[in-house]
Amino acid sequence: RVSRPEQQVRGAGASPARRRRSMAARYDRAITVFSPDGHLFQVEYAQEAVKKGSTAVGIRGLDIVVLGVERKSVAKLQEERTVRKICALDDHVCMAFAGLTADARIIINRARVECQSHKLTVEDPVTVEYITRYIASLKQRYTQSNGRRPFGISALIVGFDDDGSPRLYQTDPSGTYHSWKANVIGRNAKTVREFLEKNYTEEAIATDKEAIKLAIRALLEVVQSGGKNIELAIIRRNQPLQIFSAKDIESQVAEIEKEKEDSEKKKKKSI
């Protein structure tokens, strides 16, 4: 049965995968089959699965790395604590994911074991790039085995290396990974990435506080009902992962809104 990617509600134009449907239909059954024009459709469909997860944004500051996620609304009887998008992989590395929850759990468990295994073997904590490469290789292996489907998640991995430099990496279902200054994955990623391209400046990340505000502002572009649907985590150099409380996030959001009001008032005055 041919799977169909989830569509955003828009006026015109179907996603490219949908237009290629007739050809895709013959080449997307088995993961190991290339299509005549060189596509691995299962991998591309896995990327569509990522778009069904809620937004996650990562910002690399000078002395801080920030992860912000859109908290998914839970059913009334569900415990909120069990829906976590930001997870620590080690004391100095953490990641946020978007996509299939169950796949993320498997990857996080394997990555955590690898972090400790590395520490025991070479007596050094992993570098962020090492663990990212491990996760990416794991994902790639599943795009080349028969009978197995790719992992349907993208991950943002942040942390500090031993030499003190902050890192932000992003992996996707195909098993590629890249280093980023700021990136976003999940639903509405395009909108938020455009915001970040405009607003990620030297001043915007000059201090820790500014970097945190940038992450929240980026999320507010797409998160409905503001601060109570945002979860934020930071790592400062030589400090463990710190998850913000709802109160702290609300106060940040209030500050941001006040700044916005003030700048609009200034604009009106100058006109």
Partner 1 sequence: MATFFGEVVAAPSRAGGDDDEEAAAEREETPEDREIRRELEEKREVHILWSSKLSASTGSFTDEQFPCSKFILAIGHNAVAFLSSFVLNSGCWEAIGSVKLWNEWCRTSNTTSVLPTDAFCLFYKLISDPTVLLCQCNCYVAEDQQFQWLEKVFGCMREEDLQVTILSTCPVTDYKTPESTLTLPSPFLKALKTKEFKESICCPLLEQPNIVQGLPAAVMSYCQVWQIPAVLYQCYTDVIKLDTVTIEAFKPVLSSKNLKSLVKDMSKSTEILKKLVTTNEIHNNIYT
To partner 1, the closest distance from the beta carbon of 208 in angstroms equals 27
SS3 state at 67? strand
From 58, 61, 68, 99, residue interacting with partner 1 (rule: CB under 8 A)? 99
Single-letter amino acid, residue 56: A
Q: Residue 235 pairs with which residues in a beta bridge?
A: 65
Check binding of 33 to partner 1 (CB under 8 A). Answer: no
Give the range of 50-58, 117-125, 249-257, 258-266 binding partner 1 by CB under 8 A: 50-58
CB nearer partner 1, residue 8 or residue 245: 8
List the one residue out of 84, 150, 93 whose CA is nearest residue 126.
93
Check binding of 30 to partner 1 (CB under 8 A). Answer: no
Single-letter amino acid, residue 46: A
To partner 1, the closest distance from the beta carbon of 85 in angstroms equals 6
Give the range of 60-68, 101-109, 120-128, 174-182 binding partner 1 by CB under 8 A: 101-109
Q: Strand order of the sheet with strand 166-171? A: 153-160, 166-171, 177-179
Check binding of 21 to partner 1 (CB under 8 A). Answer: yes
Check binding of 72 to partner 1 (CB under 8 A). Answer: yes
CB nearer partner 1, residue 85 or residue 213: 85
CB nearer partner 1, residue 45 or residue 97: 97
Give the range of 36-44, 52-60, 176-184, 239-247 binding partner 1 by CB under 8 A: 52-60
Give me the count of residues in the chain: 271
Question: How is residue 36 written in tokens?
Answer: 């005549």
Question: How is residue 123 written in tokens?
Answer: 């007596």
Check binding of 104 to partner 1 (CB under 8 A). Answer: yes
- For the purposes of burial, counting CB atoms within 10 Å of the CB of 30, is it exposed (0-12), middle (13-18) or buried (19 or more)? exposed
* Binding residues with partner 1: total (CB under 8 A): 26
Question: How is residue 214 written in tokens?
Answer: 């940038």
List the one residue out of 199, 247, 249 whose CA is nearest residue 67.
249
Going residue by residue from 212 to 251, which x/- string records binding to partner 1, judged by CB under 8 A? ----------------------------------------
Neighbours of 223 (CB within 10 A): 22
From 101, 179, 199, 207, residue interacting with partner 1 (rule: CB under 8 A)? 101
Check binding of 74 to partner 1 (CB under 8 A). Answer: yes
To partner 1, the closest distance from the beta carbon of 67 in angstroms equals 14
Check binding of 165 to partner 1 (CB under 8 A). Answer: no
Q: What are phi and psi of 200, to 5 degrees?
A: -80, 100
Check binding of 68 to partner 1 (CB under 8 A). Answer: no
User: Rounded to a whole number, what is the largest CA-CA distance in the chain?
Assistant: 65
Question: How is residue 186 written in tokens?
Answer: 């999940």
Regarding beta strands 86-90 and 64-70, do their DSSP bridges make them parallel or antiparallel, or are they unpaired?
Answer: unpaired
Quote the DSSP letter at residue 225. T
- Give residues in contact with partner 1 (CB under 8 A): 1-2, 4, 7, 9, 21-22, 25-26, 49, 52-54, 72-75, 83, 85, 97-102, 104
